[in-house]
Amino acid sequence: MNRYKVVKQLGDGTYGVVWKAISRQTNEVVAIKKMKQKFHSWDECMALREVKSLRKLNHPCIVKLKEVIRENDELFFVFEFMDGNLYQLGKDRDKFFPESKVRSYMYQILQGMAYVHKQGFFHRDMKPENLLVNKDVVKVADFGLAREIRSRPPYTDYVSTRWYRAPEVLLRSPYYNAPIDIFACGAIMAELYTLRPMFPGSSEADTLHKMCAVLGTPTQATWPEGTKLAAAMGFRFPQFAAPPLSKMVPHASPEALELIAAMCMWDPNKRPSAVQCLQHPYFAMVARPVHSHTSGGAAPAGANAAAEPAGRPSSHSLAKARGGGDTRLEDRNGMKGPHQWADTAPPMRAESAGGATAAAAV
């Protein structure tokens, strides 16, 4: 770790502390996460879900691990440094995002989700804090709760932050899967338009109550499995008729409202996949990015992680970040082994039809 100079602390979570640091060799700014748990072997390190998932994931819309270092039984993750996250970006604004900006952000987020799901994982903790931004680039971060789609349920451990938690998880279903990420994306998309969380419940029951108020109460016909889950835990859905979503998200286009409603369907089997979301007419104005190899080119955008903001529920998982170039696995206790990923980060191209560019300034 003497190859890096720590500049300041960025965040402190249940499992680790994150620093902003500078490489003494290249002057590259990075984010370093130090795990609080001790790791007495390299096998222990490699067994971490976060390491297992990030080692397999290589996509421009996903945070990329630059280096893993084990030193004196302490584990460090080195990521690129980014300017902040979507929560911070929205919190600091005094006016709404233009729809072209929301469209660009959601296109990148859903590209990341489509790739994660295709590679056999689901994230389980999608929220604005875990979406890192650098100017107009958004990358999915924090895979500390990620699971493999092929892993066997039931899932009984803690999952996701309450405000973005899918209803099947709130109702304690042990058989949830990738659609929980899609529900969270729908809630995030609505929040990008309103700068307010869509379902800011103070408890699991209150979150379900707020979902009913926005989405309308589910029925045996619309979500039979949900009514069974609710009955099993003694929960009674409050009775609400679904109001027009345009009242909740007044600045969104009809296409945007249609996509949000689809992603936030009560029944997970009725939600579109990430690929289907990307094919929605809402994204017709977004030019598909051209993937180009950037190794040896300009320094990649960096990534950081911030502490959980006060007043927002925590997922007990710390936001992290991603970087370009070769990823190194280094065991300073006596073992080392390089692992490489190609870096194919594409730029977002301008929107067509004379609209605002996807790279317009925030």
State the binding site: 34
Given 73, 83, 125, 142, which residue is catalytic?
125
Tell me, letter by letter, the H, E, C secondary structure of 121-141.
EECCCCCHHHEEEECCEEEEC
Q: Answer yes or no: 94 catalytic.
A: no
Q: Which amino acid is at 35?
A: M
**In sequence order, which residues have a C-beta less than 8 Å from that of residue 220 and are 6 or more positions away?**
227
Q: Give me Rg for the CA atoms of the chain.
A: 20
Contacts of 68 (CB under 8 A, 6+ apart): 45, 51, 75, 76, 77, 78, 327, 328, 329, 330
- The Cα–Cα gap between 155 and 148 comes to 11
Q: Is residue 149 within 8 Å of residue 120, measured between CB atoms?
A: yes
Q: What are phi and psi of 46, to 5 degrees?
A: -70, -15
In angstroms, the Cα distances linking 36 to 76, 237, 246, 297, 318 are 10, 41, 45, 35, 12
What token pair was written down for 1? 């770790």
Annotated binding site for ATP: 34
Q: For residues 232-261, b (16+ Cβ closer than 10 Å) or e, as one string?
A: eeebebeeeeeeebeebbeebbebbbebbb
Residue 122 tokens, joined: 């689901």
Instruction: Please report, to the nearest 10 degrees, the dihedral formed by the alpha carbons of residues 295, 298, 299, 302 taken in order.
Output: -100
Catalytic positions, please? Answer: 125
